Each structure stands twice: as C-alpha cells, then as structure tokens.
Copies of this chain bind each other. A is one copy, B any other.
Amino acid sequence: MSHRKLFLLPGDGIGPEITAELEKVIAFMNTKADAGFEIEKGLVGGSAYDAHGVAISDDDMARAMAADAVILAAVGGPKWDSVPYDVRPEAGLLRLRKDMQLFANLRPAICYSALAASSSLKPELVEGLDILIVRELTGGVYFGEPKEVIDLENGQQRAIDTQVYDTYEIERIAAVAFELARTRDNRVCSMDKRNVMKSGLFWNQVVNRVHDEKYKDVTLSHMLADAGGMQLVRAPKQFDVIVTDNLFGDLLSDVAAMLTGSLGMLPSASLGAEDPATGKRKAMYEPVHGSAPDIAGQGIANPLAMIASFAMCLRYSFNMIKEAEALDAAIAQVLEDGLRTGDIMAEGCRKVGTAAMGDAVVDAF
C-alpha cells in the first residue's frame, strides 16, 4: 500500500460541505481498494484570515508544498470584502499558485449529455462538447511588477499593472498544451492579442517556434482573444485544446465553462513542472465554481465539480487512470439516473442535497 499524501483546503462558503463529500470518495477508495490516501487539512482564504490574519499561513503553505497533491474547494465571500488587499481571500489562492509554481492550469469544458439541455446555448451546439483550456497561471498581469497605485504631482492618482512574459514561461505552457493535444484530437488553438500587445506578439512567436521545433505533428492555429471569445459562443465544438495567457485564460475559461450548462460540474488542475529526479510534479486541484456564500451551510451545494477535480488528481498526480475514468463514469451515471442538485435541476429529475449526491457517486463508483 503506497502512501499518497493529500492536503485538503476546504476554504470558505460551500467549501467545507463539498469537501466532506470528497472525503467520502477518498475513504471509499482507501477501504475498498486500499488506495492509501492520507489526508491533512488546512485553512485558506477567509477562514485562514479569521484564524491567522493571513490568506494562508506559512505553516499551511509548507504542508501544501510537502503534499503529493493539494485539493482546494473555494475561497471568498462578502464577509471579507473589506479586509486589507494583501490578505484578501484570493491572495491565498494566488500564493499557492505562485509558491508552488503551478504554471499550467487545465480547465476542461465538458458537456455531460444529461445536462446539454440546461446550457443557455442551443443543445446541438454543446452536446458532446469536450474542450480543454490550458491557461498559463503564474505569469502575466497577475504577478508582473510594478503593480501599484501612485500619486501624481497634479493631484491625480495612477494605477499600474504589468503584463510580463519571459521566453521560458511561454515555452513550457506551449509544451504542456501540445503534449495534451496528442492525447486528444491533436489540435491546439493559441489565443492572444498580438495586434495590440507586445506580449501577445511574443507569445505568438514563441508558441510557433515550440511547435515547429518539437510538435509539428500537432495542428496549430491562432486566434485573437476577442475573436476567440466570440467563437466559443458561436461554435464551441470547433476547438480541441486552447492555450492562452493568465488573464485571457481567466475570462475565456469562464465563458467556456458557462457553455456547458453548469459551473457546478467543472473541475480544474494546476500543475507545476516535473521534477526530473523524482518524476513528480506539484499540483493543486479545484472546482471552477466559487464559494457561493449565498447557499453555504444549507446542504444544497453541488459537490460534483469537487469530486471531478479529484478525478483529475487521480489522473495527473497519481497516474491512476482506470480509477479516474471510473470516477468520471460514476458522475455521469448519477446524472443519467436523474439525480440533480438545485443548480442543475430540470423537469423530470430528482432533486437531492449535497450529501445525497456524494453518496450516490460513491454507490455508482
């Protein structure tokens, strides 16, 4: 029995409730399949601020670094809207990404056929949708310096953020996108604003070079990011893998997520580089949805994105492909069976709460 160290960060809002359902899945794997998962838990976001006055403590940060995989539920809520900027809930998330060097954010936008009708798009446009957005996660305008507000001599103020990309940052995210494309439909579309941004032009050139040097077998296309947003809404199935920078990835992956009919369904993985010595990579898994403070504590939140994030964890951190596929199939099964939490409720289906949904996935697993 191997030891697999998981560090769970339930965070805020509905985070603890959906984490509890994930723990059922993990316990089941330990009991039935001797999977050897060990769980530690920590605090991030508002809950960390309430306990320690920071968005994540150094101690929890160290435990995140030491774990085989981190699983974070969600952070934030109106309660912390006016805490100081440096310790706002999101700062915990950003520190985890940056300190663990999780540069590759994988955001699948998959439309479960049982849910196609609940998309705001016409069902035929999203039925069978399966795209993967590969978002650069540790660079760009999120972390570039200067990032400040200064007082000008004329009494005005000036706010500045800086978009910065070095060659290696684009090379490594492009490589991740091309590698993943090879396991799928072998097509990558790179999005940038090269007609306006120097970093966009540079992005475009580096992606082209990486492609020509090592991934000629993969079909590469380019789209301006604004046109990309449009095409996602117009005909999302045209895409296989999309690779883009941190800020565009933030917006475009949210648009893509919404196409599938429910944010409550979508997982994500944030990966670091492979350590050449151990073959391991740091990784964090999170649902794409937020902390939904409005429904927190009511037992009605949808735990499926959290559980699907763990399926990504099985796949990318532990190479447990069969188990990942079985867990994904269990999620699809409960949907086929007509079980629905409130956010995805539809006529003729059976409405269940968070715990019942978690139990159903375990049963179907």
**Contact residues of A with B, CB < 8 Å?**
76, 85, 88, 90, 94, 120-122, 125, 141-142, 144, 147-149, 152, 156-168, 193, 195-203, 225-227, 229-230, 232-235, 247-248, 250-252, 254-255, 257-259, 263
Contact = CB atoms under 8 A, between A and B. Distances in A.
A154 to B, nearest CB: 9
A314 B195 CA distance: 30
Contact of A201 (B85, B165, B232, B247): B85
A235 B258 CA distance: 10
Nearest to A170: B159
Contacts of A232: 255
Given A147-B198, A233-B120, A233-B258, A160 B159 contact: no
Given A230-B254, A254-B226, A254-B227, A199 B159 contact: yes
Contacts of A152: 166
Contacts of A148: 198
Nearest to A168: B156
B160 A167 contact: no
A157 B149 contact: no
Q: Which of A147, A193, A255, A257 has the most B CB atoms < 10 Å from its CB?
A: A255
Contact of A120 (B121, B164, B197, B251): B121
A203 to B, nearest CB: 7
A229 B229 contact: yes
B235 A120 contact: yes
A197 B167 CA distance: 23
A125 B261 CA distance: 14
26 contacts: A76-B195, A90-B196, A120-B125, A121-B122, A141-B141, A148-B198, A149-B201, A152-B166, A159-B165, A159-B199, A160-B163, A161-B162, A162-B162, A162-B163, A196-B250, A225-B251, A227-B254, A229-B229, A229-B252, A229-B254, A229-B258, A230-B263, A232-B255, A233-B233, A233-B258, A251-B251
Contact of A250 (B193, B201, B233, B252): B193
A223 B247 CA distance: 16
Given A121-B122, A122-B120, A226-B250, A198 B255 contact: no
A229 B251 contact: yes
A90 to B, nearest CB: 5
A83 to B, nearest CB: 12
A227 B358 CA distance: 27
Contacts of A144: 160
Contacts of A76: 195
A169 to B, nearest CB: 9
Nearest to A85: B201
Contact of A229 (B158, B163, B165, B255): B255
Contact of A161 (B88, B94, B197, B252): B197
A5 to B, nearest CB: 30
B156 A166 contact: yes
A76 B196 CA distance: 13
Contact of A198 (B156, B161, B163): B161
A202 B157 contact: yes
A49 to B, nearest CB: 14
